[in-house]
Amino acid sequence: MKLELSVSNSLARIVAYHQASKHHLDRYAPGPGGLDWANQPDPFRRYAGAPCVELPLQADALTIPFAAVRRGERPIVYPLDRDSLAILFELSLGLSAWKQHADSRWALRCNPSSGNLHPTEGYLICPALPDLTPGIHHYLSCDHVLEQRAEPSATTWGNELRGGVVVALTGIHWREAWKYGLRAYRYCQHDCGHAIAAVAYAAAALGWRAQLIPGWGDDELAALLGLDRVEDFADVEPESPEVALWVGPEPLSAALSVHTLAHGLSYTGRPNGLSSSQVDWPGIEEVDCAAHRPPTIPASRFQPPSRPPLAEGDRPASASTLIRQRRSAVAFDGVTALPAERWFMMLDALLPRADAPPLDAWPWSPRVHPLFFAHRIDGVPPGLYLLARTAEALAELRGALHGNWAWSRVEQAPEHLPLYQLTVADARDAARVIACHQDIAADSCFAVGFLTEFAGPLQRAPWVYRELFWETGLLGQILYLEAESAGIRATGIGCFFDDALHRLLGLDGLAWQSLYHFTVGGPIEDRRVQNLPPYAHLHQG
């Protein structure tokens, strides 16, 4: 049970955490300073003793092009059954490859993760379906199986889940804290945002839709998933409830109740321990308590303004291929330039449209507005640019950014794309320095700082702190897949000097904060690292 904190108390704690977890040019946020390899967390949670349902690996059968999925085209609706859910998980949280270098071997997944530490766990809450028993299942990506964690009593679920399932995401903070210390909580939230988007893209490729369920409280979700069971978690790393998504061919019913689902469940399986010992980072548990979400009565869903459909992509890759080939670039060539038209196409995908994934899953008005360090865009002078995702944000940002900024509309951009030039400049050094001196921010075609409405949205609802990071993760996942489909590559940047960016822009106070950075460019492959298929291990002996 979380401590009850008043809103102002919670807000103060969140702001204190946020400030303390900033990296500064002259000092990094508190972290372990080195890696305690003996305690490296197991990247896979398993529930020993839980009955397992093997899932087929058949994402290859899905031929819809990514170019169609990104535009929200859903020509085929797959049936709601075990095999389709297998594809949903394979293309969202499933493994995408194993990498090997010398004696080290590590798995990559369709959803990216800071440090590849993967704090996010996925659960399925489903009714009786062909080849699948009703209940709560944990998705174990390593084995591509569902572990049945709980079973409903015969009478309780009735018609609660009709035309869809619930996919719930949780976060294991320790996995990130092991490497990143205090800042880890932020990374868990980014990763959750990427995972939400990964589920939404996979759902759309099946002809379905994912919708974030906005009203469920953390305690209720924890109870449903069995995360609050002291007898199971007393000796192992806890999981924090993050978010529940409705996924399926039919829309979310307003009547879907977490209480009804949680009633009369019997749980099986014991979660594994992930490290032999763990270091508690003072600050992480506190911010998690302060950002605790109570049950809420959701406001009406945000309806995006009508916009022309996204321009057609020119590459015919299937969504299932593209999603599984997504990788973070480890270095960029410093040469590749992106044609302006292609850049505008990518940026356009960051604007919400009623049917286009993953933002069709997002119930709230945009609160994140990307600032671009454009280095190599053919036909666009290098410099700083800003995409104001709402008209209100544009007005506010014009007042908030102190300095001699041009605010001139980029004329070549499509009329509906609110892209503004702030200044013409060689921004490579600034991008590199702000991204903790990482060359990938300067050698790219463009880098991004996700400017986010901050103090305002947190004022009455401190748990929105998490949602702000999730939204940046959603936008990041869009850029990953858009870059992949343009034949280049992207990388999330969680390491950046927060206030250095704010100073560059002349931003004071906490009305706006940059919560995540990104970079997109022509990748250089690391040929020393071997690439192995994701699930060959399942067929060996």
Ligand X SMILES: Cc1cc2nc3c(=O)[nH]c(=O)nc-3n(C[C@H](O)[C@H](O)[C@H](O)COP(=O)(O)O)c2cc1C
Q: How many residues bind ligand X (CB under 6 A)?
A: 19
Structure tokens, 132: 């699948």
Nearer to ligand X, 78 or 332 (CB): 332
Stretch that binds ligand X, among 55-63, 112-120, 216-224, 527-535 (CB under 6 A): 112-120
List beta partners, residue 97: 108
Distance in Å, CB of 89 to ligand X, minimum: 16
How many angstroms separate the CA atoms of 56 and 187, rounded? 31
Distance CA 244, CA 350 (A): 22
Rounded to the nearest 10 degrees, the angle between the axes of helix 340-348 and helix 464-485 is 140
Q: Please tell me the distance from the alpha carbon of residue 147 to that of residue 339, in angstroms, as a whole number.
A: 46
Shortest Å, Cβ 55 to ligand X: 21
Q: How remote is the C-alpha of 400 from its chain's centroid?
A: 28
Q: How many angstroms separate the CA atoms of 126 and 136, rounded?
A: 7
Interface with ligand X by CB under 6 A: which range of 222-230, 271-279, 304-312, 492-500?
492-500
113 near ligand X, judged by CB under 6 A: yes
CA distance 378 to 368: 26
Residue 114 in contact with ligand X, rule: CB under 6 A: yes
Angle at 111 between CA 390 and CA 439, to 5 degrees: 75
Among 39, 253, 268, 328, binds ligand X (CB under 6 A): 328
Taking the least distance from each CB to ligand X, the nearer of 278 and 477 is 477
> Could you tell me which stretch among 188-196, 210-218, 365-373, 400-408 binds ligand X (CB under 6 A)?
188-196
> Using CB under 6 A, which of 444, 491, 513, 514 touches ligand X?
491
Q: Is 41 in the site for ligand X (CB under 6 A)?
A: no
In the complex, least distance from residue 352 CB atom to ligand X, rounded to whole angstroms: 21
Cross-strand pairs, 332: 523
> Is residue 187 at the binding interface for ligand X, with CB under 6 A as the rule?
yes
Cβ(51)–Cβ(180) under 8 Å?
Answer: no
Q: Which stretch binds ligand X (CB under 6 A): 30-38, 105-113, 147-155, 354-362?
A: 105-113
Look up residue 347 and give its amino acid. L
Single residue of 366, 494, 523, 534 touching ligand X by CB under 6 A: 494
Residue 515 tokens read as 């919560």
Nearer to ligand X, 452 or 491 (CB): 491
Axis-axis angle for helices 82-90, 184-205 (nearest 10): 140
Interface pick for ligand X out of 43, 94, 112, 271 (rule CB under 6 A)? 112
Residue 495 contacts ligand X per CB under 6 A: yes
* 248 within 8 A of 151, measured Cβ to Cβ: no
Shortest Cβ 117–ligand X spacing (Å): 8
What is the distance between the alpha carbons of residues 150 and 147, in angstroms, rounded to a whole number? 9
Q: Which of 70, 74, 179, 194 binds ligand X (CB under 6 A)?
A: 194
Strand, coil or helix: 150: strand
Cross-strand partners of 151: 266
Kindly state the smallest distance separating residue 480's Cβ from ligand X, in Å: 7
Q: Could you say which residues in the range 439-478 bind ligand X, by CB under 6 A? A: 440
Beta carbon of residue 299, minimum distance to ligand X (angstroms, whole number)? 28
Binding site for ligand X (CB under 6 A): 108, 112-116, 187, 190-191, 194, 327-328, 438, 440, 491-495
